Amino acid sequence: MQIRRRASKIEVIAPAKINLFFEVVSRRQDGFHEIETLMVPVSLYDTLALWDDPSGQVTLQARWAAGVKAVCGLAGGLPKAGGFNDIPQGEENLAVRAVRLLADTAGINRGAKLQLVKRIPAGAGLGGGSSDAAAALLAANLVWGLGWPMSRLADIAAEIGSDVPFFLYSRPSVCTGRGEKIEPVSGIAKLELIIISPLGGLSTAAVYEDCKPGRPPLHVDPTIHALRKGRLEAIGPLVHNRLLEPARRMSLWIDRVLDQLWAAHCPAVGMSGSGTSCFAVCRSASHAHSLVARLRCQKSEIGSVWAVSSV
């Protein structure tokens, strides 16, 4: 997260994420799944601004960024599918929920005015809503002068969503439990990637329901070791997502996107989260940008395409 104080407001630049490794270890009695995943923040950002509101009200104005239509090849209008539908308002928005929960837990009668500019598609496995919620927690903590440490904010974040604690730290991390237990990983070199978010979306709950845990589960350590060595070709076989098989059974888009990425001879290709966004590790930033340009010029529509870096 990048945090800026501008006059009376706090502005937070909230990144997306990809999962370079994702294993479903077991199904828990509480209905969640025990997972082990390596998540990396990437340079695709939402922007959240927050002002204090002494009235105690929490309000949100949210919109898609001005360049989204052009970048995604959607000049005719944003579709009502594939992550670019109407942005949730009120309690349906995780950022609003995060601010209200923080005020209630802190026992203060303070509100906030939020403005959210979105670039990360929703429901695409990139964690946009969770990142917005973490940004709101960080901003409200500052503007209200609470001075809470990150560990205390993480407890609030875990109540909002499994990915939200990761975004408070926004660094490469192994996440376990249902995703809320964070262990930062050091020594991973910067990665240049492309992300494709296809037009069709999936229900996270449905993908998990159709997923069988690993027998035996794979472990993330070999993937981390390869990333620390910086040997891109060695990473390819180690990129793993247990949710890929159920996701590809539910969406024809995923195989279309993966075929495009494998055809580009990228060192590593995978799906992020429960889909439907897929990514490829590229050999360099110029390789990533040239591949994005070629994909955007194709006549066959495969979705939104970005060149990003790990951050």
- Residue positions annotated with a catalytic role: 17, 163
CB atoms within 10 A of CB 211: 18
In whole angstroms, give the CA distance from residue 223 to residue 221: 5
Provide the token pair at 306: 């970005």
* DSSP bridge partners of 14: 46
What strands lie across the sheet with 268-271, from one edge to the other? 268-271, 278-282, 192-197, 304-309
> What is residue 150's three-state secondary structure?
helix
* DSSP bridge partners of 64: 118
Provide the token pair at 134: 């973490």
In whole angstroms, give the CA distance from residue 280 to residue 262: 8
Beta-strand relationship, 9-27 and 240-241:
parallel
Cα separation values, 73 from 164, 290, 299, Å: 30, 16, 11
In whole angstroms, give the CA distance from residue 241 to residue 58: 37
Helical spans, DSSP H, in 144-265: 150-160, 164-169, 204-209, 221-229, 232-235, 244-250, 252-263
**Closest-CA residue to 193 (of 41, 71, 4):** 41
In whole angstroms, give the CA distance from residue 105 to residue 247: 37
Residue 310 in contact with residue 187, Cβ under 8 Å? no
